[in-house]
């Protein structure tokens, strides 16, 4: 979850072959539309119209509508993981101690979600999760694996911390790891539902505070 937070890496867009550019444009349009109104309510017609190609041009790039969903989620998950990797790298660089590094990471995370809502209409993971049965089993499995992977990422880090700092509250580390994702997903829903775009960031800040307190820092 929080899966939600990847940004577009639009670099060197003009050097890529034409077909890849069109494909990316369709994926961008599909992302926004799906997160706004759902997968079933997003028609191929509206996407190709916005992309400026014909309906059959779509089927040159995607086998069918399910294929669009699959490619979309794959790209999204890859970009997010890359971004988290980069943030973890920077945080670890700035502090040797795993707890302080994690708190720096969460500060970066907070900043990331800060402008996230300003740029994105929502979170693809939440959208997929909430229209589960609209997607084929491959997409559903992809989604589940991505969530579990992030759980594992944070859990490993938290175990490192717990080896050095005693936990001050009665909580399983798995749940603390999930809490990072839960805050992002729930925060995005809160922001979307209320229209208070800054709410997500404030929830991320509260989450960071919770982690800090959990280890008594």
Partner DNA sequence: TGTACATCAGTGAACGCGCGTTCACTGATGTAC
Among positions 60-119, residues that touch DNA (CB under 7 A) are 60-61, 64-66
CA distance 117 to 106: 17
In the bound state with DNA, the residue whose beta carbon lies nearer, of 42 and 143, is 42
186 binds, among its own copies, DNA, none (CB under 5 to 8 A by kind): its own copies
Residue 51 neighbours by CB under 8 Å, 6+ apart: 22, 25, 26, 29
- Sequence-separated contacts (24+) of 106-111 with Cβ below 8 Å: 106/180, 106/204, 106/207, 106/208, 106/211, 107/208, 109/180, 109/204, 109/208, 110/201, 110/204, 110/205, 110/208
To the nearest 10 degrees (0 to 180), the angle between helices 44-51 and 18-37 is 130
98-115 core/surface letters (b: 16 or more CB in 10 A; e: else): bbbbbbbbbbbbbebbbe
Decide: is 83 part of the binding site for its own copies (CB under 8 A). no
* CA–CA separation, 3 and 105 (whole Å): 16
166 binds its own copies (CB under 8 A): no
Q: Does residue 99 bind its own copies (CB under 8 A)?
A: no
- Examine residue 206 and tell whether it contacts its own copies (CB under 8 A): yes
Token duo for residue 162? 């717990």
Q: Does 58 bind DNA (CB under 7 A)?
A: yes
Give the range of 56-64, 68-76, 99-107, 163-171 binding its own copies by CB under 8 A.
163-171
Window of 44-52, 64-72, 103-111, 205-213 that interacts with its own copies by CB under 8 A = 205-213
Question: What is the C-alpha separation between 6 and 78, in angstroms, rounded?
Answer: 9
Kindly tell me which residue out of 126, 139, 155, 161 binds its own copies, with binding defined by CB under 8 A.
Answer: 126
Contact 83, 112 (CB under 8 A): yes
149 binds, among DNA, its own copies, none (CB under 5 to 8 A by kind): none
Q: Least CB distance from residue 174 to its own copies, whole Å? A: 8
Taking CB under 7 A as the rule, does residue 59 contact DNA?
Answer: yes
- Contact residues for its own copies (CB under 8 A)? 1, 35-41, 122, 125-127, 129-134, 143-144, 147-148, 151, 168-172, 175-176, 178-179, 181-187, 189-190, 192-195, 199, 202-203, 205-206, 209-210, 213
- Contact residues for DNA (CB under 7 A)? 17-20, 22, 42-46, 53-61, 64-66
């Amino acid at each position: 979850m929080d899966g939600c937070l990847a940004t577009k890496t639009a670099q060197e867009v003009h050097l890529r072959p034409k077909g890849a550019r069109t494909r990316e444009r369709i994926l961008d349009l599909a992302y926004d539309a799906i997160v706004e109104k759902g997968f079933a309510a997003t028609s191929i017609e509206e996407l190709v119209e916005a992309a400026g190609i014909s309906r059959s041009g779509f089927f040159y790039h995607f086998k069918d509508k399910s294929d669009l969903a699959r490619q979309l989620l794959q790209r999204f998950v890859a970009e997010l993981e890359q971004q988290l990797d980069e943030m973890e790298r920077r945080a670890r660089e700035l502090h040797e101690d795993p707890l302080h590094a994690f708190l720096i990471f969460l500060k970066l995370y907070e900043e990331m979600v800060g402008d996230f809502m300003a740029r994105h209409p929502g979170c693809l993971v939440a959208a997929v999760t909430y229209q589960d049965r609209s997607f084929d089993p491959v997409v559903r499995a992809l989604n589940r694996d991505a969530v579990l992977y992030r759980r594992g990422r944070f859990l490993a880090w938290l175990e490192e911390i717990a080896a050095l700092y005693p936990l001050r509250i009665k909580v399983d580390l798995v749940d603390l790891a999930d809490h990072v994702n839960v805050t992002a997903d729930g925060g995005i829903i809160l922001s979307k539902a209320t229209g208070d775009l800054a709410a997500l960031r404030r929830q991320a800040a509260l989450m960071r505070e919770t982690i800090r307190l959990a280890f008594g820092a």
